[in-house]
Chains A and B, each alone.
Chain A
Amino acid sequence: MDSLFQNMQGIPMNHYLIFCSIIFVIGVIGVLIRRNVIIIMMSIELMLNSVNLLLAAFSAYSGDPSGQVFVFFIMALAAAEVAVGLAIIIMVYRNTKSVDIESLSKLRW
């Protein structure tokens, strides 16, 4: 572990910010360009994870463990969200025989 500490001595906070926002933007692009509902949910997971990593980085930056506790709560929330979301997707597939997000467009006004 000590060698890892030595490796971590010089990462500026800005680089973490830029890295996490790039991953977040990749998630946003995934939501915009895909039509498969499951892939869209995976992109949302990607966004959640980028924010998690940024919270952990800020927590290490300011020496405050609250950020890491928050990441723990977000992970519990993500697990619940995925369970309900996938159940809804299975219901939709059973009724429309497709996972295309356009098949839900009748929900639009």
Chain B
Amino acid sequence: MTIFYFVAFLSIFFALMTIFTKNPVHSVLYLVITFFTFTVHYILLNAQFLAVVNFIVYMGAIMVLFLFVLMLLNLNKDTEPMKSNLVKFMGAIAGMCLLATFLGAFKVIETDNGMVQAHENIGLVKNLGKVLFSDFLLPFEISSILLLTAMVGAVLLAKKEPRVKHG
């Protein structure tokens, strides 16, 4: 039980570091640590499939993509554009207002406040696969088309066009 609160604290801490660090490379690395703590959360919920997928897809693929683009564009602390302190302050205030709204809403809806139990087997690959390939077969196939479209779109967008001239 205390593991959850400790890992939750780590998640919040590293998420804050992600958005407040000036250097973009450090920011990506902090985000990787944040996603690792999320993986620990999935393991605590006994969602083993999601833990593995989160580890491989988010930390392995997406974050490496971010790091790769950062290195490609050669960004560092000196080129980092920053907003004025007033805008930062206003952004933080607006975020806190949103949080207050959330907390007020949770208080009003008054959930029955049951305990989250880690189920023994719903998070396993076997059961998730059964659900995925019976109830969710059509969305699964459509998501494959979505990934194909995204791949073609990304390649087309990032390809250099030789005829573009400025001015």
- Residues of chain A touching chain B, judged by Cβ–Cβ distance below 8 Å, are 1, 4-5, 7-19, 21-30, 32-36, 38-39, 41-43, 45-46, 49, 52-53, 56-57, 59-61, 63-66, 68-69, 71-73, 75-84, 86-91, 93-95, 98-102
Residues of A within 8 A of B90 (CB): 32
Complex formed: what's the CA distance from A9 to B46 in Å?
Answer: 12
Q: How many A-B residue pairs have CB under 8 A?
A: 260
Residues of B within 8 A of A42 (CB): 18, 27-28, 31, 66
B interface, size bucket: 35 or more
* Known A22-B12, A33-B19, A84-B153: A68·B50 in contact at CB below 8 Å: yes
Contact B154 A68 (CB under 8 A): no
Complex formed: what's the CA distance from A60 to B50 in Å?
Answer: 12
Closest CB of chain A to B73's CB: distance in Å? Answer: 5
Contact A100 B81 (CB under 8 A): yes
Residues of B within 8 A of A49 (CB): 34-35, 38, 58
